[in-house]
Amino acid sequence: MKKALRYTLLTFTVIVVIVGVAAAYIKFGLPDTGDPENITIHYTPERVQRGEYLANHVTLCVDCHSTRDWSLFSAPPTAGTLGKGGEAFTPQMGFPGSFYSANITPAAVSGYTDGELFRAITTGVKKNGKAMFPVMPYLNYGKMDREDIYDIIAYIRTLQPLDNKIPESEADFPVNFLINTMPTKAALVTKPPVSDTIAYGGYLVKAGACGECHTPFDRGKFDEAFRLAGGRIFELPGGTLRSANITPAASGIGKLSKSDFITLFKQYADSNYRSPKIDFTKEYNTIMPWTMYAGMKEEDLGAIYVYLRTLQPVDHEVVKFTGRK
């Protein structure tokens, strides 16, 4: 009996030690994505121009890192706030904590080396070594072409410096503990040539993090069985919004021609277009930044369409909006 008790105590002690070591490693040994690279980016006009295109119309860095005007259709960024950060992502929106987009203007990131910015964007590790929750889809950006990331960095270096103190992001338990396991080393790729339409379209879908919004998300996890099939919930004034199915099913984009798909975006590209005010007693808004995606090249939108048409159709009818009673 005593021998069995000693064995039980020994086993329990070993388990406690193993758990303690694992917990200490997660807390103090992670994230471990390596030191920032010693790189110097030449901020040529061509880089800045390409970076502006990507940050405003593909990866949409400016969308989350500015103040969006939710009183207007598609909540376009408010003039004079580009890059200042502070946009909140809260439990009411389905996130496991309260997270705030960072100030990415030179007022906040001038102290970052190019290598530190590159590491933050592609691995989710800040200058101080702390992990970021992947509200910013660094897991996607870490699979982009190095040159595209360089271009984005070159562009944000040119933004108007804006002082803006951002609240500290706070993750709920147990995410506040597990967050250190989320950053991963970048797995950069070479951007496919535009002529390889399907591969290039897939690259743009990954860079644009389309799956982040168009995949159901609950309790910190994506439902991979419905990847890009829509249904992610967003609580907005007046009710609940759900993202659209963008697989080639009939309930998705199956009935849209390539021309129809491009027109959906480009209808907001007219220089005279102004997002109308939303009357929340009769209408609902969308988180889809149509006015920003409208600036995407038709060739790029077309490539995205061609790629999406190659996906497995997922029959998933989505009720776009349910008003509160």
Is it the case that residue 148 has pLDDT exceeding 70? Answer: yes
Is it the case that residue 14 has pLDDT exceeding 60? Answer: no
Cα–Cα distance, 197 to 199 (Å, whole number): 6
- What is the reported pLDDT for 12? 52
Do residues 212 and 137 touch, judged by C-beta distance below 8 A? yes
- The ranges assigned to domains in the chain are 1-30, 34-191, 192-325
| pTM, two decimal places | 0.90
Cα–Cα distance, 230 to 224 (Å, whole number): 11
Is it the case that residue 305 has pLDDT exceeding 50? Answer: yes
For 97, phi then psi, to 5°, come to: 140, -170
Confidence of residue 2 (pLDDT cuts 50, 70, 90): low
Q: Where are the alpha helices (DSSP H) in the chain?
A: 2-24, 45-57, 61-64, 106-109, 114-123, 138-141, 146-156, 175-178, 197-207, 210-213, 258-266, 290-293, 298-308
218 CB-near residues (< 8 Å, 6+ apart)? 94
Average pLDDT, the chain: 90
- What is the reported pLDDT for 312? 97
- What is the reported pLDDT for 3? 60
Report the percentage of the chain scoring pLDDT > 70.
90
Query: Mean pLDDT throughout 29-47?
Result: 88
Is it the case that residue 10 has pLDDT exceeding 60? Answer: no
Paired strand residues for 131: 125
DSSP code at position 164: -
Confidence of residue 281 (pLDDT cuts 50, 70, 90): confident
Q: Of 32, 64, 31, 55, whose CA–CA distance to 149 is shortest?
A: 55
Paired strand residues for 134: none
Q: List b or e across 37-64, with b for residues whose CB sees 16 or more CB atoms inside 10 angstroms.
A: eeeebebeeebbebbbbbbbbbbbbbbb
- What is the reported pLDDT for 178? 84
Cα–Cα distance, 31 to 134 (Å, whole number): 13
